[in-house]
Structure 1
Amino acid sequence: MTDTSILLAMDDFSQASKIKEILSSANFNTISVSEFEKKNCLYPKVYNTHNTEFNFNYTNINTVDLVLMDKSFTKNHSLLNQLKELHRETYIPIIYITSNSDETPIGSFDSNVIYLKKPFESRELLLTLELVSIKYKMENALYESEDRYRLLIENADDPIAIINYNGEFIMVNPSAARFFGCKTENFQGKTMWDVFPKEHADSQIEDIRNVLDNNEGQVFEGKTIIRGKEHYFRTNIQPMPIKNGGMKMVQLIAHDVTPLKQTGEALQKSEEKFQEVFNNANDGVSLHSIEDDGLPGRFYEVNDVVCNRLGYTREELLEMGPKDVITQETWQKMPKLMEKLNSKGKIIFEAVQISKDGNEIITEITNHLFNFQGQNMITSISRDISERKKAQTRLLRILAGIESTEDAIGILKPDGCHFYHNHSFNELFGYSVEELNVPLGPVKLFVDKDLGNHIFQIIMDGGSWDGELEMISKSGRVFPAFIRANAIKNNDDQVIGLIGVLNDITERKRVEYALKTSEEKFRNLAETAVDAIIIIDTDEKVVFCNRSLERIFEYSEEEILGEYFDTLIPKSHVEDFQLKLDYHHQHDSESGNVFDSFGMRKDGSEFPLEMSLNTWETEGEIYTTFIIRDITQRKLNEFKMKMREEIFQLMSENIDEVFWLIDPLTGQILYMSPSYQKIWGDSIENLYQNPRSWIESIHPQDKDEFISYIFGKNGSSQHREGIECRVIRQNNDQILIRVRAFPVINQNKEIYRRIGIATDITGTKNI
């Protein structure tokens, strides 16, 4: 833009001066109408549009690149005619400055006129000139040659496209492709609807077709969506010549004015909310002037944080300056700080401020230099860092703690050079910092040097490593150690150091070996026990179980470890079990830590059990050991003695075949008639020792239906006539039985027993 000369034709001298000042600050060359006349040997005329005749000399017209003209000059027909003549010789864009009261645009010639309404801000004028300059350069490039036109298109910062009447992309330049995150060839065969949301594509194609139908270029400004984001464009759409009877096409040049829109909106919001944000900031914010001696002057504005921190009212502070609220020691540093601020535009320093009541406050101050209405000012953002200073003190205490810890701690540079270790590190290895302060120097501490190099490479690449390995001291002592090594990173995720924490675990290894030996003895004893042995932690999760658990509960060790203990307790008995367990924990010193409960097998069947438990503590952790015994047989014997008369009475009334009685709550066999051996081919004694054996004898294809039926899981309304199933005896013979089951209702109309009858029907059917 520095090579652009502008002919300034203004009716208002003060307005012209202001515009010249704006243009000069942006490095534009401006020529007034009178200056232009004189420079080009024109007739000297009075600087008044209404009484002026203009007669341009075309021999030196290249001195003007752009015309910035007040509306009032358009009344001078001589001037307009001469401008038209100039335009025939070379392209010179014209910007008409109009007032807000203008209802219609000024009549123009060709397409080189742009309108700018008053009042306007300097940034609007400069943006308009920038757009005009771009258009000017593009048009002249087109006039020169098609090759230059193509070069301009391909290198233009603005998106440019050629689109036909159907909305198909004929060409796009790289800038347009970059907006869509792709290459120009990706637009081949695409339409407006392929790259824009439908409503935006419909609106844009309507503008394009209006230009083509009227054969007149237009400039549009609007919003569209690209890759899910809003963009605002000022778009110049021009019809293109039709070649060889082809389809009508337009050239579209879009200038992204999104930043301008966003800046305008942000500025408006900033102006509306400045006072609120200013006074509600977390940090103290103040503005102050700069005196002639270069030092800070009086406060221009302060926010509530500054007032509250220093204890002054805003009115009091506006009569003061930074010198009045900082210590003399801080003020003596100010000349050098101001020198640095003037060279860099920003400084950060610590200062001690003094409140109205005389308290000293340590603050971190960030000063920014800026120009406000032609005057250099300073924005000062102050933060109370008294707590940070306390934190630094705590950090020093932490460092003292690191020195006194028993862990060996070493810190290295990113290249593996050792530059710090604590007292414990020195005691453990016997090396000084200097002896290890070479790249990868600490590798000598590893017995396995290859492993040491591998670990260092991981850490230097930003990773971490922990584990057990063998280390060697300066004296040659080899010992087991546990090491935790990590990369130290800054906020940009760059490795700025390495740290390692080591522990000599010789004693721990000795204890672990003793524990391992003890554990092996315990496991041998536990695995040979008939009863199930389970150990739970404070969270009541299983941490150990023996093999008998699988025999009793049908869970493998892998399935139950880590599960909550109540996995083995029926839901209906969990609450009762928990009460008994809590009572034990509260009275663990009392004798009699044995109680009865119910267990639940993996298949969901329930059975009575007896638990003895003991709570113990090791290494600060509390564990509870359960020894569990299946007492189904005991319960059956107890119940059989009690219910013998009732059972035989039911048998005499209902059945003369194999008869059984089941507890509906636990699913356990309360009684099985002697005929069981005739059908199942096994003794009742074996049945009571293995209560699941009679179900396991049912043919696999019939087992699920048999279990569901005898335990009443399908409801009382199904299988009233019974079911048929096959029994596989121990000698592998198969027999076919018909089974009928009935609920027994007590006086409370509750099912308190389930009875079943099995009849051998092998002879009546083929199996």
Structure 2
Amino acid sequence: MPELIELLNNEESINLIKILLKNIHDLAILLNKNYIIEYVGNKSKNLIGFSSKELLANSLLSFIYHEDREKFIEFFQQLKNLHIINTEIRLINKNGGFIWFILKGSILKNNTEQDNKIILLLNKIFKDKPVVSEEAILNEKDGDLFHSLSEISFWKLLQPKQRVSALKESLKMLQFVLDQMPQYIAWKDKNLTFLGCNINFARVIGYEKPELIIGKTNKEIYQNADIRNYITEREQKVINSKNPEFHKIESWFKVGNEERFLDVSRVPLRDSTGDVIGILIAYEDITERTKSKKALEQSEKRFRKLTELLPDVVYTVNKEGIITYVNSAAYLMLGYKPEEICNKMHIRNFFPEEELSFLLKNFERVINGEITEAHDYKMIKKDGSSIYVMLHSRPLFRDEEIIGLLGIIHDISKLLKAEKKLKESERKYRNLAQSLPAIIYEFNRDFELTFVNKSGLEKFGISHNDYMGMKFTEFIAPLDLEPSIRDINKILNGELIEPNDVLLQKKDGSYFYGRSHAKAIYENGEIIGVRGIINDITERKKSELALKKEIEERKKAETQLKKSEEKYRYLFEGSPYSIWLVRLDGTILDCNTTTNALLSEHIKEDLIGQNFIEILSLLDKSDYLIPHFKQRFSKIRQGKKLKPSEVKIQRSKGDEIWINVIGSLIQLGDETLIQVIIQDIT
């Protein structure tokens, strides 16, 4: 009958052992005699930062801290004496530091010494944690196991005494490995009689030591007939079919009222000729994992329902770059239905060649756990057209392991078009600003100039390089600085101010007047500065000052004129002579009250507004007066000076009087008049 180790040399059993090693909480490593790593458990990434792919086919010495390599070689040589031993050792982590481990090891013997393998288990510790010696305990426990096994008929066929020591060491190694596993493991012969188990299996069925189960049957272990019959049927099927079962999810018992779920693997054990001589069984309680999986499925359902409401494309990608999920927004954005993409297309299929290098580089960074910023990309739609998108992605975790990435694709094509239009508008604005004769300027919240157009540069006498870093307030005259800063702060606080005149200073120290119109510059709803236009009003200011002076002089002249008119009115009304003011068209503008006495019934109010010819027709019935005074009136209007004229007139009472008439041009305000003075010389 073959040794127990030989039973595990077939491919099916080795696969099971590897599956079990993956679940050991320590770091498990399988070496050949040249220190080359042939197998490594899945804890390496978490413990030292290196993945199994990075470790496989490399010498373990490369990953041992340089000061501990001789210690490891000595440890390795001691293992050849068939002892299970342990020591402390430091492994190098990916960041360049080192981590302390308790190192346990044993030899896995094969048919020839050349094929022997070394199993190592490494348990991470703190440096001050003492190394626990287990050799004595293992020797005692494994001795009991070895002697118990010798009582079973299966083990009576073992080789003679010279091989007992080798077998004992092999059994110790196997039991050592199995007891490190969290699963419940047992093995039976073809009749389903227990040949052994690990400590977890023994305890779960009520035994303190694994050797106490040897020789027991399913009937003795499983009291419930339905459970016993089910287990027996499944195990017999594997033995009869000679085919293993891996990871079957079963639930055939409860704890209290809670149903328990098990991950079950059953593997036929074969001898060196390939005949099935027993079965190896491994149970793992996955109830909590199953609950978590159901909760995760519910969470994923909610996640997918939520993503279907979003206008953006939400997607997940596995570590190989295959898209595993995409919401229905992909159809609207890219033209693909989700079923055309999921688990079928690589992310590279959606991007042009020029984008791939940067895209895949960022993909690797995210897969390695880095948090990257969102980036803009060009994507290819199903119809061959292109769109521009912003892509956000983060690592996707499951059980604290990165399994891919989760991303969101936002279409920014319209935004880019709007930005292009905005830039074009800004370009036109800049061109327009440069062509205007007025000064166009912009400055930020610190008053630092960010733009001055060509006219402004010329007016202030500066260059483009001069104003960069200068503050707008440097160009305001000292007298106007305080009120100007007050107005600027109002603008920065969102207030609107009226255009105002300000005295500005050029680089050469000279001044000019400008009228400033200024408003706040907004960006994303916030005020970031001030934009304004200044018109040079220096000449207008000069004109205003001249006009002001002229107005003051005119007011002064009007005051003097008013005083003069008052004097004239006083003399006009107080004169003993009749005085008429006649417009150049012959209309009587005014006359004094003496006229009333001279003309008897024709009073002052009757005369004003009448033509003097009409009045003469009332004063003389002959044809002499009217032609005479018409001729004189014409000559006076032409600016000729005439001698006084003496004539006789007849008043309305019938009496006749002689009068002396003097006519001359005068200027009254803006109007030229003819003044007529009439004196009674009867």
Same fold? TM cut 0.5 = no
TM-score (norm 2): 0.32
TM-score (norm 1): 0.29
Higher alpha-carbon Rg:
2
Higher RCO, 1 vs 2 (CA within 8 Å, ≥6 residues apart): 2
